[in-house]
Amino acid sequence: MMHVKPPVVAGFFYPGSEHELRDTVRGLMHDAQTQGDDRPRALIAPHAGYQYSGPIAASAYATLEPWADRIHRVVVLAPSHRVPFRGIATSSADIFRTPLGDITVDRVAVERLEGMPGVQLLDAAFAEEHALEVQLPFLQGVLPDFTLVPLIVGDADSDDVSAVIEALGAEDTLVIVSSDLSHYHDYRSCRQRDRETTQRIEGLQAAQIGPHDACGAYPIRGLLKTAQRHGWRVRTLDLRNSGDTAGDKSRVVGYGAYEFY
């Protein structure tokens, strides 16, 4: 019997109906500004509700459109918000489901990872987690056919995260790191802090980024180490916060979109 991971934030973080969700993703992608002509090897995209971070996430996913037919596997590394644990969690699911349909998990790749340092099967990490799920409708909206390697990253060593990314490296594979930036500062402070974090990401300064800078700090650190090793460059695609997208500027969350090429 196939093990299906159902959506848990459909109708809350994003529309719960197929028609409305498809229209929402199309609208966000249509409004996104694309930059550069380089094929992305990895992206960092935010994971809040679409009314807050959807426009910034779309700025990242819009870079995939010229290359969509060449991407057949996507590795998503998302932080854990619900379950504290050390290392990197895999899922036993065969399928991840959203209102847009089912995404097949690359079980061969997942099972290969489970033998690596710091990696463990931990379905509980996925059960109520939104940070990975909210990326999936964007991927379904832009890629015609792909398999998924879903990973939740806890308090993980950056070398272990980088090793996982390296193990999955292939010409047809894209890496997505799911992360928001600073949380619950006033608008001006948020902008300053997020500009500083962006400078560290652009400089591939893995050791300089902590959980207070980005909730996805642990997967970001691993990605930056991989980027250093391969000589990838970073392009900042979008940098805004919930005060820009949802109006309230007294207590905001920062969002950035970054392309590695």
Contact 197, 182 (CB under 8 A): yes
Contact 196, 212 (CB under 8 A): no
Average pLDDT over every residue of 158-184: 97
Percent of the chain clearing pLDDT 90 (strictly above): 97
Query: What tens digit of pLDDT does each residue of 32-65 get?
Result: 987 778 999 999 999 999 999 999 999 999 999 9
Model's pTM, two decimal places? Answer: 0.97
Q: CB count, 10 Å around CB of 154?
A: 18
Query: What tens digit of pLDDT does each residue of 61-112 get?
Result: 999 999 999 999 999 999 999 999 999 999 999 999 999 999 999 999 999 9
Phi then psi dihedrals of residue 185, to 5 deg: -100, 170
Tokens for 45? 């995209």
Homologous superfamily, domain 4-260: LigB-like (3.40.830.10)
Query: Per-residue pLDDT for 242 more than 80?
Result: yes
Contact 126, 91 (CB under 8 A): yes
Query: What tens digit of pLDDT does each residue of 185-233 get?
Result: 999 999 999 999 999 999 999 999 999 999 999 999 999 999 999 999 9
